[in-house]
Amino acid sequence: MDILQLADNEFSGSVLVRKGGKKLIEKAYGYADYSNKVPNEINTRFSTASAGKVFVAVGILQLIEKGLLKFGDKIGDILDFDLKNIDKDIEVEQLLTHTSGTPDYFDEYEMDEYEELWTDFPNYRIRSNRDLIPLFINKPMMYPKGTKFQYNNTGFIVLAIIIEVITGMDFDKYLRENIFNPCGMHSTGYYELDSLPEKCASNYIYDEKRKTYRTNIYSVDAKGTGAGGAFTTINDIEKFWDNLMKYSLLSEEMTLDMFKCHSKDKDDSYGYGIWLIEQKERVIPYFTGSDPGVSFMSSYDIENNLLIVLISNFGDDVWKIHKRITESVFTSEKSYI
């Protein structure tokens, strides 16, 4: 199994595939710094776009288990700013399941590219969840709360603010102390693009006009938020899954509830902050993310004990590669490290 053969083009990023406790692939490809030809390595930190929603969801579920929050709590009773036309009776569970109808600052059903957001509102101003409030607070509800599933970035901004209101901590500090550090995920965090720590890969977008690559520093938030933007490594994602599956982050009951389908449309099924591949007699949880120059996909097939982590800093099609890896793994038990 060669990732470069499974990808349609040359792949840049990192890959981890583990089956039954045995690593079949653990390898980095391409460049973290394209101009200076600095290669990606196993411990390179990559941006993950919307994949970070799963961390926010676990943080919220932890607060529920501690009795500090309830699924049915209403945002109007929690938030400390004027919601204007947003329904104050939206419940925490509806935010977790993309059924809130909250006006989305980036409606993926209407906008093609995330960088369109920054035409009139500079991205360098986005360094906290509250910095995004002006982009949605004056918009009308998208639909009545609880009436349908529609992927919603604003919902997870609101959830991150709820974490901050309840704990008195910045959401990323809360996640670090309650998820990342307990899991040993010491290479995971939310960093500002103009002050990144060591071993962070740059993300690249192909410029059709210039026929070369440019970085995404003017295309995404200056710092990640509840909607996404965490940096991490393939090994830290492995640690996250392992701790989640041994119920050290949440109780067994809450973890299994997280993996149940709570909302869906004709194409997608969703638990609490996590996507679900529903097959005949089993469900495969996964989380994913995409931004300009960023693509991420990680799944855990519980029945077959198959863990896959794919991260690209060139926006490669990790979803197609994921499908091809899955097909290849079940035709061979060979280690490819």
CATH of the domain at 162: 3.40.710.10
How confident is the model over 207-236, as a mean pLDDT?
93
- Residue ranges making up the domain that contains 322: 3-329
Residue 228 has pLDDT above 90, yes or no: yes
- Structure token digits, residue 92: 């925490």
Would you say residue 34 lies in a domain? yes
Residue 332 has pLDDT above 60, yes or no: no
Whole-number average pLDDT of the chain: 92
d(CA 231, CA 197): 10
**Higher-confidence position of 331 and 182:** 182
Would you say residue 335 lies in a domain? no
Per-residue model confidence (pLDDT) at position 336? 39
Q: Give the lowest-confidence range in 71-75, 234-238, 281-285, 292-296.
A: 281-285
Q: pLDDT band at residue 312, thresholds of 50, 70 and 90?
A: very high
Per-residue model confidence (pLDDT) at position 105? 87
Would you say residue 337 lies in a domain? no
- Cα separation values, 58 from 91, 137, 148, 305, Å: 17, 25, 23, 21
Would you say residue 9 lies in a domain? yes
Task: Identify whether the C-beta of residue 102 lies closer than 8 Å to the C-beta of residue 142.
Answer: yes
Identify the bridge partners of residue 26 per DSSP, sorted by sequence position: 16
Per-residue model confidence (pLDDT) at position 334? 47
How confident is the model over 131-137, as a mean pLDDT?
93
Residue 48 has pLDDT above 60, yes or no: yes
Q: pLDDT band at residue 112, thresholds of 50, 70 and 90?
A: low
pLDDT digits (tens, 9 = 90+) for 67-101: 999 999 999 999 999 999 999 999 999 999 999 99
Residue among 219, 267, 270 at smallest CA distance from 100? 270
The DSSP call for residue 26 is: E
Number of domains in the chain: 1
Would you say residue 336 lies in a domain? no
Would you say residue 334 lies in a domain? no
Would you say residue 273 lies in a domain? yes
Would you say residue 64 lies in a domain? yes
Q: pLDDT band at residue 335, thresholds of 50, 70 and 90?
A: very low
The distance between the two most distant Cα atoms of the chain, rounded to a whole number of Å, is 58
332 Cβ contact list (under 8 Å, min separation 6):
1
pLDDT digits (tens, 9 = 90+) for 4-45: 777 767 899 999 999 998 999 999 999 999 999 999 999 999
**DSSP-H helix ranges across 224-314:** 234-245, 252-258
Per-residue model confidence (pLDDT) at position 281? 77
